[in-house]
Structure 1
Amino acid sequence: MLYGKEHVKRYQETGGAEGHDWNGATVLLLTTTGRRSGEPYTTPVIYQRDGDAHVVVASNGGEPKDPDWYLNLLADPDAEIQVGPDKHHVTARTAEPEEKPQLWGLMTRVWPDYDAYQGKTDRKIPVVVLEPRR
């Protein structure tokens, strides 16, 4: 099973042939700019499509703190994703309250543990919409 940096490395080396399909879910690589360092950081994240956007969940496994990649996107919403062999420039935004239930349902159908993660934390877990950069 691929995790963390090894997941990123194998995904990049194989154009997603290894790592895109993971544990019954689909994974993209999200590259953000570090909010303090200015350096690029790449993280494997479960995703689903919603029209021309990619949707991800900033769950951090239900920890009390948002994941670093989400904090980086709040500081600079411009990012890059790799889906299989294809790379795309995207702009991230947190889902609006009125659209979050539908997107949360989309994500929990592929990764039901998100409901358990939400139950572990008082933090409202953000759903993030990655839209093609125009």
Structure 2
Amino acid sequence: MADTDAAAIRAARADWISEHLDSYLTSGGTRGHIFDVSGVGGREMTTHCLIRCVGRKSGKVYVRPLIYGNFGGEIVIVGSKGGADKHPAWYSNILASETIGVQIATQAFEATWREPEGEERHQVWEYMAHLYPPYITYQRSTSRQIPLVMLSIGRPIDVFTADDSL
């Protein structure tokens, strides 16, 4: 998919993504963890986490809501960017960090990350595509391999707030 097409999809969804993030942050995680994405091809009961990372160039803190799955005790997030030809900025920011923050519902943690490879990657991809079927279309629309990031939770941290988000 051309980046311009992916940008159009993101622009159309920008309002509800922003509202979703705001709801998640202002409620301390009591709202936003389960979110209906059936309107964009997903499922009604889709789990979402928040990730918090530091911009590799700007040094600013960014919080993003992402669909997640639990695979083998690790949190899985997908760098789909709607099938755009470039990786999402949050993925590049994670690559530049040893740890990030992750919030699931009302609990937040410091997390380390890794990327699955080989057969494990295939299994994780199949699992995530089952959770959110549009990932399949996204992958078909771009020549880049959509990244999968596995997060291992560590020490508890404070839940994210609106002050954390750009």
TM-score by length of 2: 0.75
Considering fraction of residues, name the structure with more helix.
2
1:71 matched residue in structure 2 = 92
In 2: Cα distance, 1:3 partner to 1:56 partner: 19
Considering fraction of residues, name the structure with more strand.
1
Q: Percent of counterpart pairs with the same letter?
A: 37
Counterpart AA for 1:93: R
The answer as to 2:35 corresponding to 1:14 is no
Q: Which runs of 5+ in 1 are unaligned?
A: none
Matched residue pairs, number?
Answer: 134
In 1: Cα distance, 2:81 partner to 2:150 partner: 16
Cα RMSD over matched residues?
1.7
Q: Which runs of 5+ in 2 are unaligned?
A: 1-12, 37-43, 156-166
Deviation at 1:96, TM superposition (A): 1.7
> What are the residue-to-residue correspondences of 1:53-132 with 2, within 5 Å?
53-132=74-153
Structure 1 residue matching 2:118: 3-state secondary structure: coil
Q: Retained in 2: the 8 A contact 1:4–1:43?
A: no
The answer as to 2:52 corresponding to 1:31 is yes
The answer as to 2:55 corresponding to 1:42 is no
Structure 2 residue matching 1:88: 3-state secondary structure: strand
Deviations 1:15-50 (A, max 9, x none): 323211112210000101110111210000000112
